[in-house]
Amino acid sequence: MKTVKRVAIVAKRASVRAKTRKTVKRFGYRIVNRKPDVVVAIGGDGTYLHAERVFPGVPKLLIRDSRICLKCNDESLRVLLKACEAGYRVERPMKLAAAVHRNHSKTRPRLAANDVVIRNREQTQAIRFTVKVNGKDLDGTLIGDGVVIATPFGSQAYYQAITGKGFRKGMGIAFNNVAGKRKGLVVRETTEITVILRRGRALVSFDNDPAMVALAPGDRVTVKKARERASILRLA
């Protein structure tokens, strides 16, 4: 178990950040913005995703300050920091790596701990797209609002809102308002999923990152398990 000396703090509200800094300092930790040993993320699922994007792979201590936070601890920060001194373990959920292919070029893969979402850019217009699983078509060209590709961690968010259930292993594919009511499915985590935009304009997002990528007909998005993993601190 690595000794914790350097701590970064991620929280939406300035008042929460200030209060957290005081508590963390009382325990003798150094507050840093770079190369922390542990990140204290106070908020909800969105705060965790932001913290993972800013500090990828660094263990996150998640503390609830929001109604929606599936992995958060409900104990106070003081109690959790005291418990950390006695020991902790690190949970390493899988991430997704997604790349956009356009003509003969390919973007740098973007990572997602929750999900990769491809959806129509104009709400009043459906898109036409094809989904391939390891190169094999699923039902030809689909018409609808788009598709969600989720990790087990992310399956309790947008994926579950569409399908009504989550999953514990693999990668999930959920179809958003698709004609014919195509059911979602779960594939092995070694699968490569390709989404090809056939008609219309779309956007692809990676978790709650505001830096989305616009898609035009003919563009392809490939999604597979990332080599990198997320990191969540659990009390031993």
**85-142 pLDDT, tens digit each:** 666 778 899 999 999 999 888 889 999 999 999 999 998 999 999 999 999 998 889 9
Q: Check residue 86 and give its pLDDT.
A: 63
pLDDT tens for residues 165-210?
999 999 999 999 999 878 899 999 999 999 999 999 999 999 999 9
Instruction: Show the DSSP H helices in 27-163 as ranges.
Output: 45-54, 77-86, 158-163
> From CA 195, how far away is CA 179, in angstroms rounded?
17
The crossing angle, in degrees rounded to 10, of helices 77-86 and 14-26 is 40
Domains of the chain, start order: 6-86 (3.40.50.10330), 94-228 (2.60.200.30)
Using CA atoms, how far residue 185 sits from 47, 124, 172, 173, 180, in Å, is: 28, 26, 6, 5, 15
Share of the chain above pLDDT 70, in %: 89
The answer to whether the beta carbons of residues 38 and 4 sit under 8 Å apart is yes
Using CA atoms, how far residue 69 sits from 58, 153, 176, 235, in Å, is: 19, 11, 23, 17
Is 27 a residue whose pLDDT tops 90? no
User: Does the pTM exceed 0.85?
Assistant: yes
> From CA 203, how far away is CA 210, in angstroms rounded?
11
